C-alpha cells in the first residue's frame, strides 16, 4: 500500500542511501491517504519510475486542515512566542544543511534539474531563507499610535491561522520554503500541497520538520492533484490564506473560489514572459553569457526566464550569432554529470507542450537559428532553441512556453524597446544590459514588472521581495514584504480616562 513503505535510492554523486517516506504527512505522522490511492513519480532523465507516493483528495485535505487548525489553537499561533518559533526554524535550517546533498539528490532526481544547481542555489537558498525568517519570528511588531491624551492605541500583527500553500513542479523545495518559512515565522500553520509530479523534497522536508521538534500539525504535506486536493484547499472554510504559484488559469480559479467561499486571503505568482533589453553599449561577452543562462537555466522551466530578447540594431546580428553559438554548444545529458549544462524537461506532458510551441513558431514564419527539435534518447530532452524574425503577435512571443526556447527581435530606440517589452499580459521580471547607469535606472523604472535585473540573470535574495505586476499575480514573497501576506493587523483602543 502507498504510504506503508519507504523507497530507497542512491546516486553516484551521493555516498549513501536516501530514504523518503511516501505517505501523506498529517498531524506529525506519515499515513496512507484515505482512499489508499497512489501515483508513480517519474524520472525525467529516462522515463523510469522512481517510486509511488500516496495521493490525497478532499477527504485528506479536510483531515490535514483540521489538524492544522487544532495545532494553531493549542500549540502554535499566539501560544508560542516568536523567539521559540525562530529557534525551531533555525533548527530546521541546520537539519537541512546537514542533509543538503541528500535533499539536492532527491530534487535533481525528481525534477531533472542539474544536481549542481539543486545543491546551490536551490538547497542552499532554502537554508538561507529559513534562517532569514527565523530571525524575523520575534521582530514583526505593531505600532503605538498617538491620538489623544485620553486614549492609548496600538496595533498587533497577528497570524491568520491555517495557510494553504500550493507549489508547482519546477522549484519544489525553493518555492515551498518561500511560503512555509514566513508562514511559520509569523505563527501560522500550513497545509502544503506539492505537485504530484515532484513531491519528494516536500516529503523529505516533513521528516526534518518532525526531527526539528515542531509540534504535530504545524506543517502538513498532502500530495495530490490540483483539481482535487488543490481545489479542496481553496474551498475549505478553515483555511484563511492561500499562497499559490502556478498558471494564470488556475490562479483565477483560486481567486474565484475564495470569493465564493470564505473570502480567504490569496497571494498569486503566475509566471511570466519576461523581456530582456540589450543596448549597444552592453558588455558584449558577459551579456551573451548572462542571457544564455537567463533563457536556458533549468531547461527554461523558470517563471522569470527572460525569453523575449530585444537587441539594439547596432549589435543585433553580432549578438544573434554569438548567442546561437553559445546555445548550440550547451551540453545536454545526465543531470548528475558535472559536465552537463542542460537536463531534461520535467515530464512527457511538458515535453509535448514545448514541442507544440516550437511547431507553432515554425508555422507562423519565425526563423529557427538553432535547435527546434527533440533531442535523441529516452529522456524528455528538447534542444535549446532560438527563434529570430519574430513578430509581436506570434504565439511564441505572447505565451509562456516554459521550456528552452528564446525569441529575439531588434529595436532602434529606447522608447521602442520599452513599448515592445511592456506589450504583454505578464509582468514578473525584466532584464536590462547596458553600461550606462543612467539608462539602466531610467529603463528599469519604466519597465512594467515586479523585478528588474540589471546586467545579470534572476538571482533571488532572501532579503529582496519577488512578485509580479499585471497577470503575473499579486503579493510578494521573500523579504520583509512577505510577512504582510501572512499576518493581519489588529488595532486596539484603550480609553485611559474610563469616561464616556
CB burial readout 391-412, b (16+ within 10 A) else e: eeebebbeebbbbbbbbbbbbe
Question: pLDDT for 49-107, tens place per residue?
Answer: 998 999 999 999 999 999 999 999 999 999 999 999 999 999 999 999 999 999 999 99
State the pLDDT confidence band at 500, using cuts at 50, 70 and 90: confident
Q: Does the structure show a pLDDT above 60 at 359?
A: yes
Q: Are 343 and 384 contained in the same domain?
A: yes
Is 72 within the bounds of a domain? yes
Give the contacts of 292 (CB within 8 A, at least 6 positions apart). 323, 326, 327, 330
- Per-residue confidence (pLDDT) for residue 245, from 0 to 100: 98
- Per-residue confidence (pLDDT) for residue 481, from 0 to 100: 97
Alpha carbon distance 104, 99 (integer Å): 9
Give the contacts of 277 (CB within 8 A, at least 6 positions apart). 310, 411, 417, 418, 421, 430, 431, 432, 433, 434, 443, 447
Q: Does the structure show a pLDDT above 50 at 3?
A: no
- The one catalytic residue in 107, 196, 207, 269 is 269
Q: Does the structure show a pLDDT above 80 at 1?
A: no
In terms of Cβ atoms closer than 10 Å to its own Cβ (0-12, 13-18, 19+), residue 500 is exposed
Per DSSP, what are the bridge partners of residue 54? 38
Per DSSP, what are the bridge partners of residue 153? 145, 493
Q: Are 307 and 266 contained in the same domain?
A: no
Q: Are 242 and 298 contained in the same domain?
A: no
Q: What is the CATH number of the domain that holds 266?
A: 3.40.605.10
Per DSSP, what are the bridge partners of residue 271? none
Q: Does the structure show a pLDDT above 70 at 5?
A: no
Is 490 within the bounds of a domain? no
What interhelical angle do 172-185 and 82-98 show, nearest 10? Answer: 160
**CB–CB of 48/17 below 8 Å?**
no
Q: Are 30 and 56 contained in the same domain?
A: yes
- Per-residue confidence (pLDDT) for residue 2, from 0 to 100: 38
Q: Are 176 and 257 contained in the same domain?
A: yes
Which of 270, 302, 333 marks a domain boundary? 270
**Grid cell at residue 448:** 512594467
- Per-residue confidence (pLDDT) for residue 17, from 0 to 100: 66
Is 120 within the bounds of a domain? yes
Q: Are 341 and 434 contained in the same domain?
A: yes
Question: pLDDT for 158-175, tens place per residue?
Answer: 999 999 999 999 999 999
Which of 270, 301, 318 marks a domain boundary? 270
SS (HEC) of 165-181? EECCCCCHHHHHHHHHH
Q: What is the CATH number of the domain that holds 438?
A: 3.40.309.10
Alpha carbon distance 292, 312 (integer Å): 17
Q: Are 375 and 388 contained in the same domain?
A: yes
Alpha carbon distance 381, 345 (integer Å): 6
Which of 270, 299, 330 marks a domain boundary? 270
For the ranges 24-28, 148-152, 208-212, 353-357, the lowest mean pLDDT is seen at 148-152
Is 95 within the bounds of a domain? yes
Q: Are 97 and 238 contained in the same domain?
A: yes
Query: In this prediction, what percent of the chain has a pLDDT beyond 90?
Result: 94
State the pLDDT confidence band at 117, using cuts at 50, 70 and 90: very high
- Per-residue confidence (pLDDT) for residue 10, from 0 to 100: 43
Alpha carbon distance 272, 275 (integer Å): 9
* DSSP H or E stretch at residue 360: helix 348-363
- Per-residue confidence (pLDDT) for residue 254, from 0 to 100: 97
Question: pLDDT for 243-252, tens place per residue?
Answer: 999 999 999 9
- Per-residue confidence (pLDDT) for residue 324, from 0 to 100: 98
CB burial readout 102-130, b (16+ within 10 A) else e: bbbbbbbbbbbbbbbbbbeebbebbbbbb
Q: Does the structure show a pLDDT above 60 at 7?
A: no
**Grid cell at residue 35:** 482512499
- Per-residue confidence (pLDDT) for residue 499, from 0 to 100: 84
Q: Does the structure show a pLDDT above 70 at 477?
A: yes
**Grid cell at residue 350:** 511538458
Is 488 within the bounds of a domain? no
Does residue 269 have an active-site annotation?
yes
Q: 79 by DSSP, 3-state: which?
A: helix
Q: Which domain holds residue 434?
A: 275-461
Is 481 within the bounds of a domain? no
Is 496 within the bounds of a domain? no
Question: pLDDT for 377-422, tens place per residue?
Answer: 789 999 999 999 999 999 999 999 999 999 999 999 999 999 999 9
Question: pLDDT for 366-388, tens place per residue?
Answer: 999 999 999 987 899 999 999 99
Q: Does the structure show a pLDDT above 60 at 352?
A: yes
Q: Are 326 and 184 contained in the same domain?
A: no
**CB–CB of 379/344 below 8 Å?**
yes
- Per-residue confidence (pLDDT) for residue 377, from 0 to 100: 79
What's the full length of the chain, in residues? 500
In terms of Cβ atoms closer than 10 Å to its own Cβ (0-12, 13-18, 19+), residue 280 is middle
Q: 66 by DSSP, 3-state: which?
A: helix
Our count of domains for the chain comes to 2
Q: 445 by DSSP, 3-state: which?
A: helix
Q: Does the structure show a pLDDT above 90 at 184?
A: yes
Q: Are 354 and 265 contained in the same domain?
A: no
State the pLDDT confidence band at 16, using cuts at 50, 70 and 90: low
Query: In this prediction, what percent of the chain has a pLDDT beyond 70?
Result: 97
- Per-residue confidence (pLDDT) for residue 15, from 0 to 100: 53
Q: Are 129 and 143 contained in the same domain?
A: yes
Nearest to 199 by CA among 341, 46, 30: 30
pTM recorded for the entire structure: 0.95
**CB–CB of 305/297 below 8 Å?**
yes
Question: pLDDT for 243-291, tens place per residue?
Answer: 999 999 999 999 999 999 999 999 999 999 999 999 999 999 999 999 9
In terms of Cβ atoms closer than 10 Å to its own Cβ (0-12, 13-18, 19+), residue 97 is middle
Q: What is the mean pLDDT of the chain?
A: 95
- Per-residue confidence (pLDDT) for residue 18, from 0 to 100: 80
State the average pLDDT over residues 323-334: 97
| Parallel, antiparallel or unpaired: strands 265-269 and 144-145 | unpaired
Q: Are 172 and 303 contained in the same domain?
A: no
Q: Cα 92–94–95 angle (5° rounding)?
A: 65
Nearest to 415 by CA among 303, 279, 322: 279
Is 28 within the bounds of a domain? yes
State the average pLDDT over residues 8-26: 69
Amino acid at each position: 500500500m502507498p504510504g506503508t513503505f519507504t523507497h530507497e535510492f542512491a546516486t553516484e554523486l551521493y555516498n549513501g542511501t536516501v530514504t523518503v517516506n511516501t505517505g501523506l504527512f498529517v498531524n506529525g505522522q506519515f499515513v496512507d491517504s484515505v482512499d489508499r490511492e497512489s501515483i508513480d513519480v517519474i524520472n525525467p532523465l529516462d522515463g523510469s519510475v522512481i517510486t509511488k507516493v500516496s495521493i490525497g483528495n478532499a477527504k485528506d485535505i479536510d483531515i490535514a486542515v483540521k489538524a492544522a487548525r487544532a495545532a494553531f489553537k493549542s500549540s502554535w499561533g499566539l501560544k508560542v512566542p516568536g523567539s521559540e518559533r525562530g529557534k525551531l526554524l533555525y533548527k530546521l535550517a541546520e537539519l537541512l544543511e546537514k542533509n543538503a546533498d541528500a535533499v539536492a539528490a532527491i530534487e535533481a532526481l525528481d525534477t531533472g534539474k542539474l544536481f549542481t544547481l539543486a545543491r546551490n542555489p536551490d538547497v542552499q537558498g532554502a537554508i538561507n531563507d529559513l534562517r532569514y525568517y527565523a530571525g524575523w519570528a520575534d521582530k514583526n511588531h505593531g505600532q503605538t499610535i498617538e491620538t489623544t491624551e485620553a486614549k492609548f492605541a496600538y496595533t498587533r500583527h497577528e497570524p491568520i491561522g491555517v495557510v494553504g500553500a500550493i507549489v508547482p513542479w519546477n522549484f519544489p523545495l525553493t518555492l515551498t520554503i518561500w511560503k512555509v518559512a514566513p508562514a511559520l515565522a509569523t505563527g501560522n500553520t500550513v497545509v502544503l500541497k506539492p505537485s504530484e509530479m515532484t513531491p519528494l523534497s516536500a516529503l523529505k522536508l516533513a521528516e526534518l520538520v518532525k526531527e526539528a521538534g515542531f509540534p504535530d500539525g504545524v506543517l502538513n504535506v498532502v500530495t495530490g492533484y490540483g483539481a482535487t486536493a488543490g481545489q479542496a484547499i481553496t474551498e475549505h472554510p478553515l483555511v484563511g490564506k492561500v499562497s499559490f504559484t502556478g498558471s494564470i488559469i488556475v490562479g483565477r480559479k483560486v481567486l474565484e473560489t475564495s470569493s465564493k467561499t470564505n473570502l480567504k486571503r490569496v497571494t498569486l505568482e503566475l509566471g511570466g514572459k519576461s523581456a530582456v533589453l540589450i543596448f549597444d553599449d552592453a558588455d558584449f561577452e558577459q551579456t551573451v553569457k548572462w542571457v544564455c543562462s537567463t533563457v536556458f537555466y533549468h531547461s527554461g522551466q523558470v517563471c522569470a526566464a527572460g525569453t523575449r530578447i530585444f537587441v539594439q540594431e547596432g549589435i543585433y546580428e553580432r549578438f544573434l550569432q554569438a548567442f546561437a553559438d553559445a546555445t548550440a554548444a550547451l551540453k545536454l545529458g545526465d543531470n548528475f554529470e558535472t559536465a552537463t549544462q542542460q537536463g531534461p524537461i520535467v515530464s512527457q506532458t511538458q515535453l509535448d507542450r514545448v514541442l507544440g510551441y516550437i511547431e507553432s513558431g515554425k508555422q507562423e514564419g519565425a526563423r529557427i537559428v538553432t535547435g527546434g527539435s527533440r533531442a535523441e534518447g529516452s529522456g524528455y530532452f528538447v534542444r535549446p532553441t532560438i527563434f529570430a524574425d519574430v513578430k509581436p503577435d506570434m504565439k511564441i512571443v505572447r505565451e509562456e512556453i516554459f521550456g528552452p526556447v528564446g525569441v529575439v527581435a531588434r529595436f532602434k530606440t529606447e522608447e521602442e524597446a520599452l513599448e515592445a517589452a511592456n506589450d504583454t499580459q505578464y509582468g514578473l521580471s525584466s532584464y536590462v544590459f547596458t553600461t550606462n547607469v543612467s539608462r539602466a535606472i531610467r529603463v528599469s523604472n519604466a519597465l512594467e514588472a515586479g523585478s528588474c535585473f540589471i546586467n545579470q540573470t534572476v538571482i533571488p535574495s532572501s532579503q529582496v521581495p519577488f512578485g509580479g505586476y499585471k497577470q503575473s499575480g499579486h503579493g510578494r514573497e521573500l523579504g520583509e514584504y512577505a510577512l504582510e501576506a501572512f499576518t493581519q493587523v489588529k488595532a486596539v483602543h484603550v480609553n485611559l480616562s474610563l469616561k464616556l
